[in-house]
Structure 1
Amino acid sequence: MRICVFCGSSTGRGQEYLDAARALGQVISGRGAELVYGGAAVGLMGAVADASLDAGGRVIGVIPRQLVEREIAHPRLTTLHVVGDMHERKAMMAANADAFIAMPGGAGTLEELFEIWTWGQLGLHAKPIGLLNVKGYFDPLRTMIEHMTGEGFLQDRHREALLVDSDPRRLLERFDDYRAPGPKWAPQESAKAADLFGLTER
């Protein structure tokens, strides 16, 4: 199994974020899974990759050419793909992952999360998505998601499909029993769109 992790290229304020990133990397490798992430050696991105590698795991990084120096491409990865732009980065990470976890991060992390969550709602994939809610970081977002649902812009089943937990081991265990909620589109339309986006199940 390959787990794609979205997280910050900064470490945030407080040791808890770094500790959580390291714990997640260890848990992923401890389960015999591979880590797929954005390829950087800095911030939470570097921490989760280092922990996974140090635990004997395989790590696949995907980084745009223009960010190789800015985010400092990780030199120890099992595989590092240098791609043309952010769109190609996200598409390659999605196509090479069986599940997704978002850790604390900034606008880029939220963009990655919302895009992959939206693709799931549209039936472009049926892979589990979770939030590792360190220090209650995602609590304000969860409040907004409840508001979206209450106002009729998000279905209950798609809200519930976004798994939330503060413990990385428990979150991955919940992935084992994940059942996709079903798409907003008709099945044949979803299959065509998934193939178009390169998200056909591996």
Structure 2
Amino acid sequence: MTAIGVFCASSRTIDQRWLDLAFDTGAELARRGHTLVSGGGCVGMMGALADGARSGGGRTVGVIPQALVDLEVADLASDELLVTDSMASRKTVMIERSDAFLTLPGGLGTLDELFEVWTTATLAMHDKPMVLLDTDGFYRPLLDWLTSLTDQHFVKPAGQDLLLVAHTLDEALDTIDSRLPVTRRPA
């Protein structure tokens, strides 16, 4: 079973449409036979994502630092809940446990996770597919800025090309599925 790491917001104050997107993402991951690897939270998009996966009979793996468990935001319904000692070790475990990565809309934590997985890919520390879901142009300003970094030679074009951008959920998951090694693709 292929494990897809998903990065997204945990905010409790975002619009319902983002929660719906997260729920639909989890449900579609389950429908496609993927295991969800998430940040292990039960709030915001992160909670909706895990609920969506479970609604479709999917397996969920949550990875959460002890400090967030102490705040009572852990997804205790996860099939497997891995508790780490820090945010840094959380990212390491998520990278190790995932076969590919999908970034949904989010804030600083989501961007931190995206840049960690992207940076380690540019350093050839992994070769796992990474897709950014740019729903309704959410990430367009960031993508424009990143292109300017490449234009100014701060980022190599090959590094920029590692991050794949999709505009719909189906496009994002189709892109991931097409880039998984044949032995890791869902049946």
Equivalent position of 2:184 in the other structure = none
CA distance in 2, matches of 1:51, 1:78: 14
> Aligned equivalents of 1:90 and 1:110: distance in 2?
12
What pairs with 1:104-123 in structure 2 (closer than 5 Å)? 104-123=105-124
- Could you say what secondary structure the match of 1:4 adopts? strand
2:147 maps to a residue whose letter is E
| Aligned ranges 1:1-202 → 2 under 5 Å | 1-11=2-12, 13-70=14-71, 72-178=73-179
Paired residue total: 179
Contact 2:91 2:116 in 1 (8 A): no
Distance of aligned partners of 1:135 and 1:70 in 2 relative to their CA distance in 1, 3 Å threshold? farther
Q: Percent identity?
A: 40
Cα displacement (A) at 1:174: 1.1
Give 3-state SS (helix, strand or coil) of 2:64's partner: strand
- Structure 2 stretches lacking a partner, 5+ long: 181-187
TM-score (norm 2): 0.91
In the alignment, the residues of structure 2 paired with residue 107 and residue 91 of structure 1 have an alpha-carbon distance, to the nearest angstrom, of 17
Contact 2:14 2:44 in 1 (8 A): no
What is the CA distance between 1:66 and its match in structure 2?
0.8
1:197 is matched with none
SS of corresponding position for 2:179:
coil
RMSD (Å) for aligned C-alpha atoms:
1.4
Q: Kindly provide the amino acid, as one letter, of the partner of residue 39 in structure 1.
A: G
For the residue of structure 2 that corresponds to 1:95, the secondary structure is helix
Deviations 1:126-156 (A, max 9, x none): 0001111122111111011110110011122
Residue by residue over 1:8-37, the C-alpha shift from the partner in whole angstroms, topping out at 9 and shown as x without a partner, is 111554322112111111111111000001
Instruction: Say if 1:17 and 1:134, in contact at 8 Å, map to a contact too.
Output: no
Listed one character per residue, the Cα deviations across residues 144-180 of structure 1 (whole Å, up to 9, x for unaligned) are 111011001112222122111121222111123338x
Cα distance in 1, alignment partners of residues 134 and 71 from structure 2? 27
For structure 1, which runs of at least 5 residues remain unmatched after alignment?
Answer: 180-202
The answer (yes or no) to whether the contact 2:131–2:175 under 8 Å persists in 1 is no
CA contact (8 A) 1:11 1:18 kept: no
